Chain A
Amino acid sequence: MSRDAILALALIAMIGLVSVRFPGFASPDSLLGVFNDTSILIILALGQMAVVLTRCIDLSMASNLALTGMCCAMLNAAYPQLPIVLLLVVAMLIGALLGSINGVLVWKLDIPPIVVTLGTLTIFRGVIFLISDGQWVNAHEMSPAFKALPRAEVLGLPMLSWVALICIALMYFVVTRTPQGRAFFAVGGNPDAAVYTGIDVGRTRFNAFVLSGALSGICGYLWVSRYAVAYVDIAGGFELDVVAACVIGGISIAGGIGSVAGAVLGALFLGVIKNALPVVNISPFWQQAISGAAIIIAVVFNARAERRSGRIILRQAETT
C-alpha cells in the first residue's frame, strides 16, 4: 500500500476516534470546517513541497505571509476602493518577490537555503515592524469587501477552501505534467546528475522559491482577511508547522521524493489534531505535547514504510 494511502487511513482513523467522543465531529459540516481551517496550512505545505523537493527548505514562509499580509492590510486601509482581486494579485506578486530574494541568494551566491531563509525569516518580520511602525491594522480599518472574500460561500464552500482546492489542482498539474515540475524532482533527487542532463539546478531552485513565495503571498492576504487583523507577529512559528506537515506527508527532507497528495494529507493530519483537541475537551495545555508526539510517530512510521528489505537483484536470486 502506498504511503499516501496509509496516511489517508490514519487520518480517517483519527477522525473516527474523535467522533467516538464527539459524534458531531465527523459530520460533513464539521469536516468541511476543518478543511477550511486547514486551507492556509495546505497551501503553504504545497509551496514548501516544491522547495523541499529541490533539496532546499524555506523557513521564511510564515514571515513572508505576515509581511505580505501587512502590505495588503495597509493597502486596503489606505485605498479601500482597490478591487480585491487586484489586491490578491498584488499579494501574490509581493510574495513571489520576497521568494525570489531567497531564490537569488540560493541560486547566484550558493548560500545554503536554510541559512538564507533563516536570515530572511527575521528580516521579513523586522520589515513588517518598519513599514507598520509596529501598529496593528484592525478589523474596523479594513473594507468589508476585504474581509468578505475568504468567507464568501460558493456552492456551499467558503472561498478560502476554494482557493486551497485550486492551488492543489494547479500544483498537481505543475508537478506531474510540466518539465519544470519534473525538474524539481530531478534537482532534489540527484543535483549532480541534473546538471549533466542540462537542467539548470540554480534556476530550478529559484523557481521553487518563487512558487513558495507566491503561495505564501496568497496566504498572507487570506490570513489577514480571515482573522481580520494584521500585526507583526501573525503566523509566528508557523514555518515549523508547514515543514512538519510536509514531513508527515512523506516528503523527504533530503529532496526528490514527495507528492501533492502527501503534502495535503500531511497538512490535514495536523489540522485535524489542532481542531479535534479543543472539541474532545482535552486541556489546552496538552495540545502542544500531543501534536509533537504525532509528528514523531508519523516520522517513525514513514521511515518504516520506506525501509526496504535487501536489494532487488539478490531478492531475485533468493527466489530462483
Chain B
Amino acid sequence: MLKPAPSMNPASLSLNRISKVFPGVRALSSVSIKLYPGQVTALVGENGAGKSTLVKVLTGIYQPDEGNIELDGVTQTFASPIDAARAGITAIHQETVLFDELSIAENIFIGHAPRNRFGLIDWRTMNRRAAELLDRIGATVNPATLLRDLGIANKHLVAIARALSVDASVVIMDEPTAALSHKEIEELYQLVEQLKVAGKAILFISHKFDEIFRIADRYSVFRDGELVGEGMIDQTSSGKLVELMVGRSVDSVFPPRTNELGEEIMRVDGFSHPTEFEDISFTLRRGEILGFYGLVGAGRSELMQALFGVTRPSAGSLQMGVEKIVIDSPADAIARGLVYVPEDRGRQGAITGLPIVDNVALPSLSQTSKNGFVRMAREFALARQYTRRLELKAAALDQNVAQLSGGNQQKVVIAKWLATRPTVIILDEPTKGIDIGSKAAVHAFMRELASQGLAVIMVSSEIPEIIGMADRVIVMREGRAVGAFERDELSPEALVVAAAGIEDERVA
C-alpha cells in the first residue's frame, strides 16, 4: 500500500498535441497523453477512434503531422521504428508482425540481433537469450523452430517476447489478449504486473472492460481522434467510460430474446475431417442462435469452413430442409442459402483493395447481374441498404475498405454476406476486436435476424457473449464436440470446464 501518488511521479512519456491526418480522415487531432513509470494506462475508444494510429506514431511507423513526443523531458523525433526502439519504446502491435519462415529466436531479435566482435550475427547468444525470454512469459517452445510451425496463440507469445527483448522504459500493448486463451491471458496479466514493478510505463489498449478494470491504473478515452477524457481507473465505471467513448449511454446488457424457434432447417451428421475435427453432429432450427464455444484452436473455424464448402469433409452428411446435400464450394453454399462470415477479415473476409460497394455486392453477383452482366445501380442499392442497417462509418460507398478502421471493416464483411439473404448464417467471432457500441449493434442485429426466421450459428470465444446470445451451445475441444448445453444449463464455469478438458482429468 506504499503506492506513491501518481501525480507526484514525473511522466516518463508525454505526447503533446499530436495530430495525424489521412486522406479524408483526421485520425488524431491534437491529443496529449502522459504515461507514468510503474503504471498501466488503458486507452479505450470505439473502432477507428485512432488508438492504433497513436501507437504507430509512438513507435516511429508514422510521423505526426503536428505535435511532439517527449521522453524523460527530452523532445524526440522518431524517423523509424529503430529510433523509437533505441529511445526505449517497444510495442506489441494489433496486427501480428512476425515472419513465418524465420526461427522463433530470430523473430524475437530481428532488427537488433546480438552480434559478435566482427559485427556478424551471433546465433548462439541469440538462441540462448530467446529461450530465457520465452521462459519468462511461460512459453514452452524451442527457439530454433520455425515460426510457421506454431499455433496462433504461441505466435502471439512470440510477439510479446519480442517486445520484451528490448530493454524499454515504455511498453505498448495494442489488444494483446485478442487471440489468447484463458490461461495465457492470466500469464500476460502477471507479466504486466512484473513490468509495473520494474518501473515501466505501460500503454494498454483493449476493448474488454473486465481486463481494463483489472490491470489498469489510469485511463484515456478517444473519440473520433480526440482525447475526450482521462483519469484514474478507480474513479470511474464502465458505464462512464462507455458514455465517453460513444458520446451517449449504451445498454451494455444483451438484447432481450425475441426470437422463436421454428422447424428444423439443418442437420449435420458425423462430420469429420482427416486432421481438423471428428464426428460432429448437431441440428439447427429456424430462429435459433446456436453458439459454438471452445478455446482458440479447438477447430470450430475449420468445421464451419467445411460446412461452407471451403474444405472437404472426409465423412459425414449435411441436410438442409428435407434434402441431403453435398456442398463442394462456397459458391454452392451461398446458392443454398448457407453463408459463413469468416473470422480473419483481412485475409478471408474483406477485399481491402476494392470499394465498399464491390465488397458488399461480391457474393451477391448472381442477384445483382442479369445474364452475366452486372448492374451497378443495383449494387449501390444493395450496399446502401446493408451499410445503413449496420451503421457503417465511412466517407462514401466507393471508398476502399482498406481505409476503414478494423471494426468498420468487420461491418462491411458482415454486410456482404447478409446481402445474399441467407437462411443459415454462420458468424465466426463476429465481434472480435470491435468496440462496445458496434458490438451492441451486431448483437441486436443477430437477434433481429433470428426473429426474422434465420438460423444463426455463432462461433465465439467470449463467454459473456455466448451466454448472452446463444439459445444452445456446443463446446468443442481438440476437434471434437465435448458438450452441449441448453440455454438454462449455461454457466461460465460449465463452459470453461468443458472447453479446457478439466472434466476429463477428474474422470481419469
Contacts and interface: CB of A to CB of B under 8 A. Distances in A.
A213 interface: no
A190 to B, nearest CB: 5
A317 B478 contact: yes
A185 B61 CA distance: 20
Nearest to B153: A313
Contacts of A190: 97-100
Contact of B111 (A185, A199, A320): A199
**Interface residues of A, dominant DSSP:** helix
Nearest to A257: B101
Interface in A291-320: 309-315, 317-318, 320
B101 A193 contact: no
Given A186-B110, A193-B99, A310 B274 contact: yes
A196 B81 contact: yes
**Interface residues of B, dominant DSSP:** loop
A193 B110 CA distance: 11
Contacts of A108: none
B101 A185 contact: yes
Nearest to B80: A198
A197 interface: yes
Contacts of B97: 190, 192-193, 196-197
Contacts of B61: 195-196
A198 B113 CA distance: 12
B93 A196 contact: yes
Interface in A112-143: none
B150 A312 contact: yes
A183 B106 CA distance: 11
Contacts of B113: 179, 182
B151 A320 contact: no
A198 to B, nearest CB: 4
A313 B95 CA distance: 21
A178 interface: yes
Contact of B276 (A197, A257, A314): A314
Interface residues of B, number: 37
A195 B93 CA distance: 12
Contacts of B100: 189-190, 256
Interface in B288-308: 297, 299, 302
A186 B275 contact: no
A200 interface: yes
Contact of B275 (A176, A196, A311): A311
Contacts of A178: 119-121
A199 B99 contact: no
A199 B110 contact: yes
Contacts of A309: 274-275
A189 B102 contact: yes
Contacts of B490: none
B274 A177 contact: no
Nearest to A320: B478
Given A198-B82, A310-B274, A317-B479, A177 B99 contact: no
A197 B85 CA distance: 9
Contacts of A197: 81, 97, 110-111
A193 B276 CA distance: 29
B275 A314 contact: yes
Interface string A161-196: 000000000000000111100110110011011111
A178 B115 CA distance: 9
B149 interface: yes
Q: Residue among A185, A190, A200, A315 with the most chain B CB within 10 A?
A: A190
Give the top 6 A-B pairs by smallest Cβ distance, nearest first.
A310-B275, A198-B82, A317-B478, A193-B97, A198-B81, A313-B151
Given A189-B100, A195-B81, 20 more contacts: A182-B110, A182-B121, A185-B102, A192-B97, A193-B96, A193-B99, A195-B61, A196-B81, A197-B97, A198-B112, A257-B101, A309-B274, A310-B275, A310-B276, A312-B150, A314-B275, A314-B299, A317-B299, A317-B478, A318-B479
Interface of B: 59-61, 80-82, 85, 93, 95-102, 106, 110-113, 115, 119-121, 149-151, 274-277, 297, 299, 302, 478-479
Interface of A: 176-179, 182-183, 185-186, 189-190, 192-200, 256-257, 309-315, 317-318, 320
